[in-house]
Amino acid sequence: HRQKKDTMPEENLTYVKEFILLGFSDLPNLQGFLFGIFSVMYLSIQIGNGLLIVLTKIDPALHTPMYFFLGNFSFLEMCYTSVTLPRMLADLWTQKRTISFLACAVQTCFLYIFGVAECLLLTVMAYDRYVAITKPLYYTLIMNHKVCIQLVVISWLTGVPVLIGETYQIFSLNFCGPNKINHVFCDAPPLFPLACTNTYNIEVSIHVVALLFVTMPFVLILASYIKIITTIMKLPSTSGRSKAFSTCSSHLMVVCFFYGSGSIVYLQPKSRQSSGSSKMLGLFYNTVTPMFNPLIYSLRNKDVIAALRKLLPKLFSLNISI
């Protein structure tokens, strides 16, 4: 198939200037229903994560490294979903599914930048829990404010040059038609079948980048939790073990959601995926962690619940006075 692409006469090629995101066009009777469902999901992601950011800023009890990282992670989740969901909602509402070549490249680039930043920030959060449990006496010394800011900046910016270069490589391919992307947003896997040049080298390059920025952070998180669990099990009292593990359980659940849903999307054999299931899985991966993150941290965290109880009466009294 690739050899056939490479031998196509250059003079007969018409290069693509825009793409058509097919999205859920195969479900014409469900457009309104899907718009409603995904609108509610997007709003819940923005409101839930926004509320977590506000709580970590205004409540002095939450001015610790763990909640500083959580606030940044919540903001990252808001950005991550904003790359894909608003565009998809607009397509569902207007039925205009065209996206320019440049807009497609920008969407892909930001999707990768925010996705990698999430992997790195989850690793930083695991390191924070590792230091808190294995070196409690030195915790405030090691995780001082300057170090926390540096770790967040590293998480946000480390992958940016590599991922911009990766996106440039993907969109430097010759796309000569058809221009229909069988997905709900721009991503490398559904783009490669549209290229009329060999994509093997770029696919290998993407796998290397994924190994570096996705698999390696996961290995570091796993190593941190092996050490954390080993340390917790050595604690003499049951209440001590319970309290230590409760400070990690929320983060561990978010890691499981993020990497678990990502594995389902990207590691499932292509032969088992229909076009419809790949779209739903892609959206599931983009929305499941951002949507459940605020619930996990608010329902399983006494500090967040206490901060919420203090904030809600103030909001109600403000509404009544207005």
Q: What is the pLDDT of residue 123?
A: 96
Q: Is the pLDDT of residue 2 over 80?
A: no
Q: Please, which pLDDT band fits residue 14 given cuts at 50, 70 and 90? A: low
Helices 160-171 and 101-134 pack at an angle, to 10 degrees, of 150
Mean pLDDT of 135-143: 93
Tell which wins on pLDDT, 106 or 244: 106
Domains of the chain by range and CATH? 18-305 (1.20.1070.10)
Burial of 15 (0-12, 13-18, 19+ CB in 10 A): exposed
Contact 294, 74 (CB under 8 A): yes
* C-alpha separations of 27 from 112, 123, 182, 278, 280 in Å: 28, 39, 13, 15, 13
Task: List, as own/partner pairs, every contact residues 251-256 make where C-beta atoms lie below 8 angstroms and the sequence separation is at least 24, other chains included.
Answer: 251/122, 251/125, 251/126, 251/129, 252/225, 253/296, 253/300, 254/73, 254/122, 254/289, 254/292, 254/293, 254/296, 254/297, 255/122, 255/126, 255/221
Give the whole-angstrom CA distance, residue 245 versus residue 190: 41
Q: Is the pLDDT of residue 292 over 80?
A: yes
Q: Please, which pLDDT band fits residue 271 given cuts at 50, 70 and 90? A: low
Q: Please, which pLDDT band fits residue 228 given cuts at 50, 70 and 90? A: very high
Query: What does the DSSP assignment read for 290-315?
Result: HHHHHHHHHHS-HHHHHHHHHHHHHH
Mean pLDDT of 176-193: 87
Structure tokens at 264: 């389902």
**Share above pLDDT 90 across residues of the chain, in percent, rounded to a whole number:** 48
Q: Is the pLDDT of residue 85 over 90?
A: yes
Give the whole-angstrom CA distance, residue 283 versus residue 320: 39
Mean pLDDT of 107-128: 95
Give the whole-angstrom CA distance, residue 51 versus residue 42: 14
Contact 245, 258 (CB under 8 A): no
Contact 97, 20 (CB under 8 A): yes
Q: Please, which pLDDT band fits residue 270 given cuts at 50, 70 and 90? A: low
**Minimum mean pLDDT among 11-20, 35-44, 217-226: which range?**
11-20
**Minimum mean pLDDT among 4-13, 89-98, 138-147: which range?**
4-13
* Residue in the structure block whose two tokens are 């992958």: 159
Give the whole-angstrom CA distance, residue 122 versus residue 46: 19
H runs (alpha helix) in 95-187: 101-134, 139-142, 145-157, 160-171
Q: What is the pLDDT of residue 273?
A: 56
* Three-state secondary structure call for residue 20: strand
Q: Please, which pLDDT band fits residue 320 given cuts at 50, 70 and 90? A: low
Please give the mean pLDDT across all residues of the chain: 85
Q: Is the pLDDT of residue 69 over 70?
A: yes
Tell me how long the chain is: 322
**Minimum mean pLDDT among 66-70, 125-129, 253-257: which range?**
253-257
Mean pLDDT of 64-69: 94
Give the whole-angstrom CA distance, residue 150 versus residue 159: 15
Mean pLDDT of 314-319: 61
Per-residue DSSP letter, 250:
H
**Among 166, 162, 194, which residue's Cα sits nearest to residue 180?**
194
φ, ψ dihedrals at 252, nearest 5°: -65, -40
Q: Please, which pLDDT band fits residue 3 given cuts at 50, 70 and 90? A: very low
**Minimum mean pLDDT among 63-77, 197-211, 245-259, 260-274: which range?**
260-274
Mean pLDDT of 291-312: 81
| Dihedral angle sign, alpha carbons of residues 161, 164, 168, 169 | positive
Could you report the per-residue pLDDT of 46-62, keeping only the tens digit for each?
A: 999 999 999 999 988 88
Mean pLDDT of 11-38: 81
Buried b (16+ CB within 10 A) or exposed e, 172-181: ebebbeebeb
